[in-house]
Amino acid sequence: MKKIKLKGLEMDVYTETLKNGFEVYLLPYANKKNYFMSYATRFGSTTTTFTPNDSNKEVSVPAGIAHFLEHKMFEQEDGVDPFTYYSESGTGANASTSYDNTQYICYGTKNFSENLRYLLHYVNHPYYTDENVSKEKGIITEELKMYEDIPEWQLEIKLRENIYHVHPRRVDLGGSVESIQKITKEDLYLCHRNFYVPNNMFLLIVGHFDPEVALKIVHEQLDSVPSIEKPKVKKIKEPKSVRMKEKTIFASVGTPKVGFGIKVPIKDFSSYDDLTLDLYLSMITTIIFGSSSLFRERVRNQKLLNSFYTEWETVEDYRVFYIIASTSDPEQLVHEIKEELQNFVIFEDSFTRMKKVWIANEVRIMDSIDAVVRNIYDDIIHYKKIIPDKMEQIRNLDFEQLNQIASKIDFKNMAIVQLLDEDKADKTKKSTKKKPMK
């Protein structure tokens, strides 16, 4: 077991990789009562076409299968479902699927060893029948409809469709009501067999526990599970441009929404490692669009903002910067954002202040186990390791380099989607209908 010091935080992470490739990350706290564990696979919604490890033939499975599989892990052959098991010790359990990973979590204050043992057991023991697969379709259909009723969700889906030409992020991570109907128990077993394997998975535990005890349980449960040759997933050749630059969609909304997606090819920045580049990119957009930016002050004073948030998305060869806003004047806000992207200036005092904020936040999040888990989990997914010196890396960011990177980003390579109220659209629709169709 390797001990890694988290610099500046007075904490240690213990790591080990089993012979079969399974990775373990343990971060014990001395002054907490609770713990949080996450057992994860690097298999998410975007993997729907692959060549299974025991075959030469490429197969395609229905969209939404990773999420469906996640739901179905909660059905076990012995009839005891994991929710029931965990609730007996007052432990919480859940799972979530993302584009490139799926995690199974449990959190509580008691029964640590049994709960860990059970977590490592149940996720490795799928039990799919025609009947239980069919039953889940009703539940997931309601989940998909719930999300589809959220206007911002629709906007983001449409935005991804317009940013990506071929990348599977174009498809909603839950699939569609139609695609999930096609899922069979055989599809589920196939995915489980190929992607829920030790060399594609890891375990992260944070909070009150003994790392020695945890590691012993991991060895007992997983040493005998063989690694497999990973299934082949074809590399996606996603073009540099966005698929469609501007699009307007309609739904029943009280306030219009606008979404921007700026597509940044990382090969333009090949002299930087992923983490350094991500820190710089994120710093640039925080200074331009963050809560203390001149831009925000300007659009606020014009009463253009109802809500506003930004985020970066990581895919193989690209980073995509999203802006999602709700505004009473979409035209004007789009204009303001475009202007800002072309004319922004970064001042050194903002840069210095944001560094201070980021470093302070690295310390602050240590108070919350949930936040620490999220942070470390993201690092493991994106960088495939723990980042023990993040504060130092932030401190080392350089103003000249920041400006260089900012000047190299093509801020015109973007997709814009506006979501307007359909009542206003009806008039337009009617007028187009009058035109002869043939």
Q: Which of 323, 354, 409, 415 binds another protein (CB under 8 A)?
A: 354
DSSP 98: -
Residue 129 binds to another protein (criterion: CB under 8 A): no
Provide the mask over 10-39, with x wherever binding to another protein is found by CB under 8 A and - wherever it is not: ---------------------xxxx-----
Tokens for 25?
Answer: 């990350």
Residue 273 CB, shortest distance to another protein, in Å, is 26
Listed residue (46, 42, 43, 41) closest to 64, CA to CA: 46
Q: Which of 5, 19, 125, 145 binds another protein (CB under 8 A)?
A: 145
Listed residue (176, 235, 202, 183) closest to 51, CA to CA: 235
Q: Which is nearer to another protein, 44 or 108 (CB)?
A: 108
Residue partners of 240: CB distance under 8 A and separation at least 6: 263, 265, 413
Residue 230 binds to another protein (criterion: CB under 8 A): no
Query: Of the residues 10, 23, 70, 186, which is catalytic?
Result: 70
C-alpha 20/C-alpha 225 separation (Å) is 7
Do 5 and 12 form a contact (C-beta atoms < 8 A)?
A: yes
Q: Which is nearer to another protein, 51 or 361 (CB)?
A: 361
DSSP 170: G
Residue 133 CB, shortest distance to another protein, in Å, is 11
Give the H/E segment covering residue 87: helix 82-87
Tokens for 385?
Answer: 């390791």
- Residue 17: how many other CB atoms lie within 10 Å: 13
Q: Which is nearer to another protein, 257 or 263 (CB)?
A: 257
Residue 360 binds to another protein (criterion: CB under 8 A): yes
Residue 138 binds to another protein (criterion: CB under 8 A): yes
Classify 322 as helix, strand or coil: strand
Question: Residues binding another protein: what is the number (CB under 8 A)?
Answer: 64
Q: Which of 89, 181, 241, 403 binds another protein (CB under 8 A)?
A: 89
Give the H/E segment covering residue 274: helix 274-289
Number of residues that this document lists for the chain: 438
CA angle 188, 132, 80 (to 5 degrees): 100
Q: Which is nearer to another protein, 223 or 347 (CB)?
A: 347
C-alpha 361/C-alpha 363 separation (Å) is 5
Residue 354 CB, shortest distance to another protein, in Å, is 8
Residue partners of 59: CB distance under 8 A and separation at least 6: 49, 50, 51, 52, 190
Residue 78 binds to another protein (criterion: CB under 8 A): no
Alpha helices in 344-368 (DSSP H): 348-364
Q: Which of 5, 17, 54, 92 binds another protein (CB under 8 A)?
A: 92
C-alpha 104/C-alpha 13 separation (Å) is 20
Residue 148 binds to another protein (criterion: CB under 8 A): yes
Residue 143 binds to another protein (criterion: CB under 8 A): yes
**Part in contact with another protein (CB under 8 A); list of ranges 60-68, 77-85, 226-234, 263-271:** 77-85
DSSP 230: P
Listed residue (366, 365, 369, 364) closest to 106, CA to CA: 369
Residue 426 CB, shortest distance to another protein, in Å, is 10
Residue 212 binds to another protein (criterion: CB under 8 A): no
Q: Which is nearer to another protein, 101 or 286 (CB)?
A: 286
Is residue 152 flagged as an active site residue? no
Residue 278 CB, shortest distance to another protein, in Å, is 20
Residue 108 binds to another protein (criterion: CB under 8 A): yes
- Residue 213: how many other CB atoms lie within 10 Å: 12
Q: Which of 27, 63, 66, 369 binds another protein (CB under 8 A)?
A: 369
Provide the mask over 376-415, with x wherever binding to another protein is found by CB under 8 A and - wherever it is not: ----------------------------------------
Tokens for 18?
Answer: 């089993």
Residue 371 CB, shortest distance to another protein, in Å, is 11
Tokens for 175?
Answer: 């699939």
Residue 351 CB, shortest distance to another protein, in Å, is 12
Residue 214 CB, shortest distance to another protein, in Å, is 19
- Burial label for 426, CB within 10 Å (0-12, 13-18, 19+), is exposed
Do 59 and 81 form a contact (C-beta atoms < 8 A)?
A: no
Tokens for 222?
Answer: 């997983």
Tokens for 113?
Answer: 């060893």
Q: Which of 77, 142, 210, 331 binds another protein (CB under 8 A)?
A: 142
Site for another protein in 263-322 (CB under 8 A): 291-294, 296-297, 300-301, 303, 305-306
Q: Which residues bind another protein (CB under 8 A)?
A: 31-34, 81, 83-84, 86-94, 108-110, 135-143, 145-146, 148-151, 252-255, 291-294, 296-297, 300-301, 303, 305-306, 326-328, 353-354, 356-357, 360-361, 363-364, 366-369
Residues with catalytic function = 70
